[in-house]
Structure 1
Amino acid sequence: MDFLREVLESTGLVERTRELGLALRTTRSPGGLLVVGTPDDEPWHLTAHLTDEARMSGLQQLVPTLVRWSPPPDAPAHLRVGLTRIEEARRGETLFVVAEAKAPEPLLERLDDARRTGTTILALDGGDPELTGLAHDSLVLPPDGLLSFDGAQHLVSSAAGELPGRHGLRDRLARLLDLVSGPRVAD
Structure 2
Amino acid sequence: MDAVRVALLREVLAGTEWLQATRRFAGSLRTAVAPHGGGLLLVGSADYEPWHLAAHLDDEAAWSGLPELSPTLVRHRVPSGAPAHLAVGLGRLAAAGRGETLLVVTPEQPGTGLLEQVHDARRNGATVLALDGGDRDLQTLAHDALAVPDAPPDGTLGPSPALDLDTVQHLVSAAAGENSLPTARRHGRFRDRLARLTNALTAPPPPRW
Aligned-residue Cα RMSD (Å) equals: 2.2
Q: How does 1:73-84 map to 2 (within 5 A)?
A: 73-84=80-91
In the superposition, relative to structure 1, how do residues 160 and 114 fare at CA in structure 2: closer, same or farther (>3 Å)?
same
How big is each residue's C-alpha offset from its partner over 1:52-101, in whole Å with a ceiling of 9 and x where there is no partner?
00000000100100000011242111111011111111111110000100
Q: How does 1:55-74 map to 2 (within 5 A)?
A: 55-74=62-81
Amino acid at match of 1:42: E
Q: Does 1:149 align with 2:165?
A: yes
TM-score scaled by structure 2?
Answer: 0.79
Q: Distance in 2 between matches of 1:140 and 1:15?
A: 13
Q: Distance in 1 between matches of 2:124 and 2:82?
A: 29
TM-score scaled by structure 1?
Answer: 0.88
Contact 1:90–1:117 (8 Å) recurs in 2: yes
Contact 2:46–2:110 (8 Å) recurs in 1: no
Decide which of 126, 134, 143 is 1:136's aligned counterpart.
143
Structure 1: 4+ residue segments shifted above 6 A = none
Unaligned regions of 5+ residues in structure 2, if any? 1-5, 152-156, 181-185
Amino acid at match of 2:33: T
Q: How does 1:27-176 map to 2 (within 5 A)?
A: 27-28=33-34, 32-144=39-151, 145=157, 146-164=162-180, 166-168=189-191, 169-173=194-198
Corresponding residue for 1:185?
Answer: none
Q: Distance in 2 between matches of 1:147 and 1:46?
A: 16
Unaligned regions of 5+ residues in structure 1, if any? 181-187
Aligned residue pair count: 180
CA shift for structure 1 position 157: 0.4
Amino acid at match of 1:69: H
Q: Distance in 2 between matches of 1:88 and 1:24?
A: 20
Identity of aligned residues (%): 51
Corresponding residue for 2:24?
Answer: 19
